[in-house]
Amino acid sequence: MMRIGTAVMTCVVAATTAVLSAGPATALPPEPAPITSGLDAVDYSGPIPDRAGALIRSVPLDPRLSLSAAGHAFRVLYSTTDQLNRRAVSTGEVLIPRGTPPRGGWPVIAWAHGTVGMGDDCAPSMQVHEEGEAAYLNHWLRRGFAIAATDYVGMGTPGILSYLNGVTAAHSVVDSVIAAHALPVPLSTSWIAIGHSQGAGAALNTGRYAQQFTAGAGLDYRGVVATGAPANLEALIRYGGPQFPPVVLPRPLNGYLLYILAGLRDARPDLKLNDILTARGRQLADIAVNTCGKQLRPYSQGLDLRTLFRRPLSSIPNIYGVLRDYLGTPDRGYTRPVFLGQGLLDVNVPAPSALSLAAQLQANRQPVELRVYPGADHPGVLVAGLGDIDRFVTRVTR
């Protein structure tokens, strides 16, 4: 594992130094105002059922937020588990295809969204879908899949988003599927997880823990699709500190690190991460907690990561294990097929991340299928890989 981690760090630094951004960052307009559809759960203080995945409330999704291929759409509030292993709530949306459902009901895709930020206003069920994501989800609706799309616990609900916390995200994803089955629509017990970027990590953790987390719910988990997966990041992040190499990483990677520091600080208060960070590091982590992706750009553009740290992260005992527990992607324990798709032009999540995971999965004899797309960047892999993903989904859900 040490040799794999060192190789990943070397490859990531080499890949990212070749794509340095130039020029000063410019502040962008604020995120659009959230559309709650009449279900505002930011300050929810009502009862939370003991059972995970219990549907607390549902309302029709505001038509401005729905998708063209959806016949019905709901915004939902449901019970789940947060990063401190407490019962909590999450929101999300459930989209139902047009037309007549098949016998047994619509099969379900649990959609795990990519990075949109950490602020409450960023919750996807309160914002219009980005064009590429809308096209991708419309594809699955037209294919006859219902979609349960979590916002993740802490995004639009009390607490903060535990960014890239794999097990916590898996709870949110799994529980959204359980909650969707309480809606007055015909859904099949058959379901798969699909995620991109941040969501790929969430989907892979969902695949690893799906059967454990749905025990007794009567669901039939079939497999997972992950594109642009952020795996083995702990191998790089553990080297964070004032001694970090003097390279400026691409803006998205800087932003991801700020989100990770903010999330880890919240999930593990015992680490006293603020003592490791400089005043600037603490300030940027605070900003990350309350902003959406576009709002963080001026702060992450051209960021010298050395300025975030007073001491190396390695001064925290077993920092690799700490990071592995928090954001690690499982490399064993999958009981259903795994599809990994990766674009070689991806600079948001450089290819060594997913490719190293694929090697680990193969070494551990896991049921993985890897597809690499030489001409695809981070969002482009959703288009480049769609044919292969279609075939995979058809095979595992038939």
Residue 88 DSSP SS3: strand
pLDDT reported for residue 121? 95
pLDDT in tens, 203-215: 999 999 999 999 9
pLDDT in tens, 356-366: 999 999 999 99
Contact in structure between 96 and 185 (CB atoms under 8 Å): yes
Per the listing, tokens 């999330």 go with 263
pLDDT reported for residue 294? 86
pLDDT reported for residue 213? 97
Please state the separation of Cα 41 from the chain's center in Å: 20
Residue 357: in which H helix or E strand, if any?
helix 351-363
Name the DSSP class of 42. Answer: T
Structure confidence at residue 29 as a pLDDT band (50, 70, 90):
low
pLDDT reported for residue 30? 66
Beta partners for residue 76, in sequence order: 58, 92
Whether the model clears a pTM of 0.75, i.e. scores above it, the answer is: yes
Please state the separation of Cα 61 from the chain's center in Å: 22
Residues 6+ apart with CB under 8 A from 146: 94, 95, 96, 97, 106, 107, 108, 109, 180, 185, 187
Structure confidence at residue 249 as a pLDDT band (50, 70, 90):
confident
> Per-residue pLDDT for 146 more than 60?
yes
Dist CA 307 CA 128 (whole Å): 35
Per the listing, tokens 């695949």 go with 207
Structure confidence at residue 13 as a pLDDT band (50, 70, 90):
very low
Domains of the chain (ranges plus CATH)?
2-30+233-326 (no CATH), 55-231+336-397 (3.40.50.1820)
Contact in structure between 321 and 264 (CB atoms under 8 Å): no
Amino acid at 394: T
> Per-residue pLDDT for 8 more than 90?
no
Backbone angles phi, psi at 340, to 5 degrees: -115, 125
Beta partners for residue 58, in sequence order: 76
pLDDT in tens, 121-132: 999 999 999 999
Structure confidence at residue 153 as a pLDDT band (50, 70, 90):
very high
Dist CA 82 CA 88 (whole Å): 6
Beta partners for residue 373, in sequence order: 343
> Per-residue pLDDT for 3 more than 70?
no
β-pair type (106-112, 55-60): unpaired
Dist CA 51 CA 288 (whole Å): 32
pLDDT in tens, 266-301: 999 999 999 999 999 999 999 999 999 889 989 999
Number of neighbouring beta carbons within 10 Å of residue 3: 7
Dist CA 43 CA 232 (whole Å): 35
Dist CA 183 CA 227 (whole Å): 29
Average pLDDT over all residues of the chain: 92
